[in-house]
Structures are given as structure tokens and as C-alpha cells.
Amino acid sequence: MSPLFLVLATPLLGSLVLGIMGHRPNGRNVNVFFSFATFLAAVFLTTRIVADGPIFALNQQFFIDSLNIFLVTLTAFIGFTTSVFSRPYMRIEEDRGKMSHSRMRLYFSMYQLFNFCMLLALTTNNMGILWVAMEAATLTTVLLVSVYRTPASLEAAWKYFILCGVGIAQALLGTILLYMAAQKVIAPGVNPLLWSNLNAVKTLLNPGVMALAFVFLLVGYGTKVGLAPLHNWLPDAHAEGPTPISAVLSGLLLNVALYAVIRCKILADGALHNHFAGHLMIGFGLLSVLVGAFSLLRQRDIKRMFSYSSIEHMGIITFAFGMGGPIANFAGLLHMTVHALSKSAVFYAVGHAAQKAGTQIMENIRGLIKVSPTVGWGLMMGTLAILGMPPFGIFASEFMILTSAMHQLPWAAPVLLLGLAVAFGAIFSRVQPMVFGETNVKRLAHPPALLPVFLHLGLALMLGLYIPGYLNHWFVQAAAIIGG
């Protein structure tokens, strides 16, 4: 059996199994089991890729190259660690009466299905299937965000659905236009929706159609990336859903959506022979950085605050890919990886902190270091990592992005710096009293799962200091594919 098949089949099977027995007490363990199996399959797939290079599967419908392989592994890994984190977290929520048994079943089943959709979106070679998978991922997360059934969570889910539904519809229109452009140049008998086929003929695609298609695709998938001004759904969905879902939304879904944008950008660049696509992305990226950073100043809810930080980081990454070139692309890929690791770690820590304090309002969360030193340190470290403090990986990627911005777009560098500085001030000044302030809160009933937090931070730290050879190799290759 091919490893790719395993990667996709495991979460799908998991979703079915958990849909049947997810309400049982050991549903959470089964969830962890399936996520771990998916991760193992992904590792297996990775070793295969390391050995054999890019592969096609199933009549070219699936396609693994250096651009998506690390994202597949990353997705499977964070999917696994989040399942570990949600084991105690969701148990506490259940104990507190926020979740019923049947909703636990829905939660676990949808969690696996969500993982499946993201992996499908990442591995598929078909632009149409990519769209279908993105839409399906939206649907599953809508259910996950609304799982508490509180007025606020329903509101957030409704907004999420409507906004992303509209956005993703634009992406479908873009896909249709892409198909239209492709039909013109691709030989009969060759599937014009396959990305690899499109990539082969991208210089022949009609520039007018491609420019229009890219605008629609960027707006469509950009809504899911959370690019300003299409970001309104993101803070609500992050703040009102369960914290494990906030972690996978920020850590994974945004990445997958951005991956879709990048694939489209490669095609648009090839057809347009100019920097139209790049400039659009630079514009959206910078706007998102500024909107994200300045919105941070007004936050009182801890999860909302970190979701705005996600918008800011997605802006940085979009900006990097918009600039293009080997260094900026490399930095963008690295930033995607490290941000996913650090942000999910932060959300794990935030989840436990908020659970301890019984609130998400930051003024009421104090003195974590006294109640639970590990949670406190985890939050502090995670915050430092996400803010781009030197030893962590984000520092390295942001540094590279800034230096290449100074080379290529000197005017943009100060804007970027301003955004980073504002974000630093806003987040640090709020996290510091939460960790070190005075408090009298009790300990939690179930020991928090802190292994994922430190595992992620450790990896983020490692990537800041040393990038393994094969990962470096992939990044360089992927950066070359993205080009620009």
C-alpha cells in the first residue's frame, strides 16, 4: 500500500470510527491513535520522498513535491500533537458541562475529517479537488467552531460560514477561469485542471484571463488565509471555538489556504510575465500586517489577541511570497513552518491558562507562574517565540524577510518593522502580567498536556539555530518552484 494512500485513508477511517464510538470515554484515545497513525504514515511518505524524489499517484491526481511534502508532515505532526493536547483539554470541558457526549463524538469525528480535508488539499494535483477540499475543510471547522452551541460560538460559526462561503465561491470562479484559460492551450486528452499539466504550459496561458483568475483566486483563498480586509471571521472563529481548534486553524488551515494561493501564484506568474500577482500579494500582505498589529492593541480576550497575531504573521508570509526570489521564498516557507509550530504551542498554553482562570479575558488571568509553572513558562516562551525573539525560528525567518525587503522594496521594510514593533509591544505587555502577576486560582482536575507545547517550542528553537539538511534542501527547491 502506498504511503500516500495511508496518509489520506487513516484520518478518513478515523472520522468514521469516531463518528460511531467517539462518545465513549476512550474516544479521545482513539482520536490520538488515529492522529498518530496519520503522522507515522506522513513520516513514511516523507522518507519515501527523501529517497525517490517527487511522485505522482493515481493517474496523476495526486502529486507530492518539495513544496507540499513538508507541509504534509507538518500538518500530520501538528494534527497529532493537537490531538494529544485536546485529550485533557476536552475532558475538562466535558466535566464542566460545556460539552455533551454526543457533541464529543461530533468533535472527534470532525477533527479527523478536518485533518483529512487539509491533507487532501495539500496532496491533490487537481485544482478543482483543491477547491472542494478547502470548502469541505471550511464545513468541518464550522461545525467545530460551533461545537459549544453558545450564542457567541453560533454567531462566530455563522459569520465564518457566510464569509468563507462567499470567499471560497470567488475561488471557484477563479478556478473556472483557470480551466477556461487552460482548455485553450492544453492538448486534448490531457486533464487541464491538473496543476502539473498547467505548470508545464503556464507561459502559454492567456494573460488577461489569468490575471482575472488570479484576482478571484487570491480573494477567495485569501479570505481563508485571513488576509485583511477579508479577515473578519478569523478572530471570532478562533476565540469562540474550542482551543485545540484555534490551534489547528491558526497552525494549519491558514497554511493550507496560503499553499493554495502559492500554487495559483506560480501559474499566474508564468502566464503574466510580470509582477502583477506578486504586487497584489505584497499589498494584501502589508495591509494584513498593519491591520493585525494595530488590532492587537485593542484586545482583551487572549485568544482573540493571538488570532490577530496570526493575521499579522500570515501577512508577513504573504508579503514574503509576494516579493519572490530565492531568499524571500525560503524565508516565507520557513516562517510558515515555524509560525505553525509556535502559534499552536501558544494556543495550547493559552488553552490551559484560560481553563485554569475560567475566563479568556486577559485582565482576569494572573500569576500563571505560581499556579502552574509549566503553563506559565510555556506561555512566556511561546509568546517570545511568536514575537520573533532571537533563538527561535521566527527570528531567523523574519530577519531574512526584512533584509530581502530592504533589498527589493526599501519602502516596505519600515512598514513591516512598524508592524512588528507594535505587535511586540501589544502582546508582550499583556502576557507579562498574566504570567507573573498575583493570583489565587486552584489547580486543574486533570494534568494538562504540556508535552506538545514544549515539543513545538523545541522544534521552533531548533529551526532557529539549525535547519536539517533535507529540510533545507526542500525549502531551496520549493523556493525555486515558487520563483518570482
Partner 1 sequence: MTDLSIQLINLFASFLLLLAFAMLAQRRVVNLVQIYAMQGLTVVAATSVVAYVTHQNQLYYSAAMTLVLKVFLIPWILRRLIKRLDIRWDVETLINIPSMMLIGIVLVIFSFNLALPIASLSTSISPGTLGIALACVLLSFMMMITRSKALPQVIGFLSMENALVFAATSATSGMPMVVELGIALDVLVGVFILGVFMFQIREQFESLDISHLENLKEE
Of the candidate residues 298, 407, 446, 473, the single one contacting partner 1 (CB under 8 A): 298
**299 lies in the site for partner 1, by CB under 8 A:** yes
**269 lies in the site for partner 1, by CB under 8 A:** no
Full DSSP string of 79-123? HHHHHHHHHHHHHHHHHTTSS-HHHHHHHHHHHHHHHHHHHHHHH
**363 lies in the site for partner 1, by CB under 8 A:** no
- Of the CA atoms within 13 Å of residue 196, those in its CB half-sphere come to 16
Whole-angstrom distance, CA of residue 296 vs CA of residue 309: 7
**148 lies in the site for partner 1, by CB under 8 A:** no
Of the candidate residues 40, 172, 389, 476, the single one contacting partner 1 (CB under 8 A): 172
For 346-468, strand residue ranges (E) read none
Residue nearer to partner 1 on the CB measure, 55 or 180: 180
Number of residues that bind partner 1 (CB under 8 A): 49
**476 lies in the site for partner 1, by CB under 8 A:** no
**239 lies in the site for partner 1, by CB under 8 A:** yes
- Of the CA atoms within 13 Å of residue 62, those in its CB half-sphere come to 18
Of the candidate residues 9, 55, 136, 417, the single one contacting partner 1 (CB under 8 A): 136
Choose the stretch contacting partner 1; rule: CB under 8 A; options: 19-27, 164-172, 249-257, 373-381: 164-172
**236 lies in the site for partner 1, by CB under 8 A:** yes
φ, ψ of residue 301 to 5 degrees: the values are -90, 130
Of the candidate residues 23, 28, 159, 339, the single one contacting partner 1 (CB under 8 A): 159
Residue nearer to partner 1 on the CB measure, 35 or 295: 295
Of the candidate residues 180, 327, 413, 462, the single one contacting partner 1 (CB under 8 A): 180
Cβ contacts of 207-210, under 8 Å, gap ≥ 24: 207/271, 207/272, 207/273, 209/177, 209/178, 209/180, 209/181, 210/177, 210/178, 210/181, 210/267, 210/268, 210/271, 210/272
Nearest residue to 167 via CA among 281, 270, 245, 261:
261
**8 Å CB contact between 275 and 404:** no
User: Which residue's C-alpha cell is 516565507?
Assistant: 332
Whole-angstrom distance, CA of residue 403 vs CA of residue 410: 9
Choose the stretch contacting partner 1; rule: CB under 8 A; options: 39-47, 129-137, 411-419, 476-484: 129-137
**181 lies in the site for partner 1, by CB under 8 A:** yes
**176 lies in the site for partner 1, by CB under 8 A:** yes
**276 lies in the site for partner 1, by CB under 8 A:** no
Relative orientation angle of helices 66-95 and 451-465, to the nearest 10 degrees:
150
Of the candidate residues 97, 151, 410, 469, the single one contacting partner 1 (CB under 8 A): 151
- Of the CA atoms within 13 Å of residue 70, those in its CB half-sphere come to 26
Choose the stretch contacting partner 1; rule: CB under 8 A; options: 148-156, 218-226, 253-261, 266-274: 148-156
**8 Å CB contact between 164 and 223:** yes
**173 lies in the site for partner 1, by CB under 8 A:** yes
**291 lies in the site for partner 1, by CB under 8 A:** no
Site residues, partner 1 (CB under 8 A): 126, 128-129, 131-132, 135-136, 139, 142-143, 146, 149-152, 154-159, 161-162, 165-166, 169, 172-173, 176-177, 179-181, 183-184, 191, 193, 206, 208-209, 212, 235-236, 239-240, 295, 298-300
